[in-house]
Structure formats: structure tokens, C-alpha cells
Amino acid sequence: MKAMVIYCSHTGITERIARRIAADFACPILKVEPDVVYGSFLSACRRVVSDRLKKQLPGAVTETPQLEGFDTIFIGYPIWAGDMPDFMQSFLRRCALSGKRIIPFATFRMTDIAASLDTLAALCPGAEILDPFNYGIMHRERYADWLEMVRADCAERDMEARWDAETE
């Protein structure tokens, strides 16, 4: 498995998880930065709602990475106003994620990652979305259990891919 971590973080919680994943999988990490300043968590949520109503969606200033050599992309983000931040969505639209294994992780206060998985699927057509990780006040999964599950799933999928290549 050749992996990369792509994430955005406002308060540092998502960033801590992203760094841990990058260390555990010995892979590169990329932080996505918005083209606007958001302020506090509550002001960021208010701004997201306002921007969505006005259809003034922000973008990201982070350059689009070359993902050809990667088969697995960990994508992390906070949940703002029920979904992933709009600037992260804008960034992911620019990425070549078709055919990739996407493993999302999200941090949140009340709304867990489930609310954003449909958005992620729409942003990553042709990608396989696996093993989402939740880290929030109301629902907090154990990182060690999730890590073991991801490693097992990826190893199994890698073995199947090798088998398929050998039998063709």
C-alpha cells in the first residue's frame, strides 16, 4: 500500500489525527489551506452557512498534489454545518481520486462523519471509500481499533489485487 494523508484542520484536532496516521503508515502528509480566514469555530460555522446560502463558496490555496503513485488516500476534515468544509470540497474536486482507496476521518462536535460520506462519494467518483473514522464529542471511535481494521482491509485488498493481476 502506498498512502498519503490529505487533511484540513481549524483547531488542530484533525491535524493531530492526520499526523498520527502519517506516522503509523509512514506516508507523506498535505494540509489544505482555505483562501479565506475563518476565525473561531462558531464564527466559521456561521460563515459556512452564510456562504452556502449566498452560493459564495471559498476555495483552497493549496496546490493540487500529484497522486499517480498512491493507491490509498486518507482524507481528514472537521464537520462544519453538517458537512466537510466547502474549501476542502473545492480542493478535492481538483484531485485525481478515481481508482483510489479513500479512507476518511473527521472531527466534530455533534454531527458525525456519516453526514459527509455522500458528499465525499460525489467528489471522488470511481474511488472506493472505506473504513471512516469518527472523532467527536458524541461519538468517538478508538483509534487503535480503527488502525487495526484499516491495516487488515488494505492488506486484504492489496492481496486480492495481486492475485487478480497474476491470474489475468
Mean pLDDT by 10 residues, the chain (168 residues): 94 94 97 86 80 84 93 94 90 95 91 89 95 82 90 85 71
How far apart are the C-alpha atoms of 155 and 160, rounded to whole Å?
Answer: 9
Among 162, 14, 158, smallest CA distance to 84 is for 14
- Contact call for residues 120 and 81 (beta carbons, < 8 A): no
Distances (CA, A) of 101 to 14, 62, 70, 107, 137: 20, 22, 9, 20, 27
* C-alpha 168 chain-centroid distance: 33
Q: Which three cell numbers stand for residue 99?
A: 481508482
Maximum C-alpha span of the chain: 55
3-state secondary structure of 68: coil
How far apart are the C-alpha atoms of 147 and 72, rounded to whole Å?
Answer: 14
Number of CB atoms found within 10 A of residue 77's CB: 29
Q: What is the pLDDT of residue 101?
A: 95
